[in-house]
Amino acid sequence: MQTQISRIIAPLHRVRLAPQRAVRHKRLLGFTRNEQGSFTLEASLVFPMILICTVSLLFVGLYAYQHVYIKQLARTAAERLAFTWTNSHKNLNPGSFNPQETDGLYWRLTQDHVTDLFGFLNGSAGVSIALPTHQGDGLVERKLARASGLLPNGVTGTASYRNYVLDHQVEVDVNKSFLMPSIMRKWLQTHTTSGKAIAHVVDSVELIRMTDLTRTYVPTLAGRISPEKAKAALVEPENSNLSGPKVTIQSERQASTYLRSLVGGKEVVRTTASGKSRLIDALDARGIAHQAFYSLTEAQLRTEQLPKDVELLQQDPTVKGVVWHFFKKDATGKGMPTDAFRKELERKGIVVVIHN
């Protein structure tokens, strides 16, 4: 390098210059012949390239760091949603929850998108929401929206859930903008970093429950009925009259006796909260009070019987329900309750049964 510069400047010795220019010429000639001058020229040419490469490497490192950070963020959100999926009241970080706060007994059947298994029929499956959000129409949407609390400011994306009965998947896809020079943006062909993760919901409690149910009851049910007995049960009966012997009711007492034999109950006396005594014709093992009526009029039932049974139904813990049985006196249907009275009884929680 020094030799080439000397060859370029050497002809200047043969040119007569003005005194000031001659002084500058001597200084330049001495500068080029000095090693310090050569290093300065070389550094002025190489340093910009080194600076550009250094800055580029810094941006590439920052982009790689943010890319890994976003992927880890998506993985963490998906795994925590899957871990707490069985109860929307669980804390996303430690997983703790109040045992009294649940999503209901049958949420797996009614609020877990079981129909996603048939998504190929309509071309779509699963449910997806945009992040961040704090709203949700259904239980699944509210569970997915909880991922918004795990995302820092500036991070957006989507969260989705798919239920394939044997495989429950939670997917989180997030992205974040990345500021970089336009040259690097063209080189990397992107201005954002994104990450996607899929986690599988493991419902250990339901797995243990189904395993125990299968292990306990399937062997018992398998030997409960033989194929021969099953075929015999499907044979049509020869006698189509299944009503049995005809029972004729001619009095209130006979009706109550027949009712006790029909429901397997017993006659008991209960005292209402207002101090009135109530004779129950037949109280069965489940706590259902059955009353037989044969000759009482509707006015007597409204003023005397109905208030007592309503009090028992509302305040007596031993009475779980009340059923009124009406027995016809003749073919005209005399003594049967009117439609308005039947609707009134149903509104008060009393079931009406008509015996022919």
Two tokens at 227?
Answer: 């194929």
pLDDT for residue 254: 84
351 bridge partner residues = 323
- Asked if pLDDT for residue 78 goes beyond 80, the answer is yes
HEC letters along 108-176: HHHCCCHHHHHHHHHCCCCEEEEECCCCCCCHHHHHHHHHHHHCCCCCEEEEEEEECCCCEEEEEEEEE
- Mean pLDDT of the region 39-52: 80
Phi, psi of 225 (to 5 degrees): -135, 135
> Shortest CA distance to 337 belongs to which of 290, 328, 86, 288?
328
239 bridge partner residues = none
CB within 8 A of 72, min separation 6: which ones? 195
Question: Over the stretch 322-347, which tens digit does the pLDDT of each residue have?
Answer: 888 888 776 666 667 888 888 888 88
268 bridge partner residues = 280
Two tokens at 213?
Answer: 């149910």
- Report the alpha-carbon distance of residue 27 to residue 65 in Å, rounded: 51
CA distances from 190 to 154, 174, 179, 226 (A): 17, 15, 10, 69
Q: Look up residue 80 and give its amino acid.
A: R
pLDDT for residue 325: 87
- Asked if pLDDT for residue 296 goes beyond 60, the answer is yes
pLDDT for residue 337: 82
Q: CB atoms < 10 A from the CB of 117, how many?
A: 15
Two tokens at 284?
Answer: 């069965």
pLDDT for residue 69: 94
Is the entire prediction scored with pTM above 0.75? no
- Mean pLDDT of the region 285-295: 85
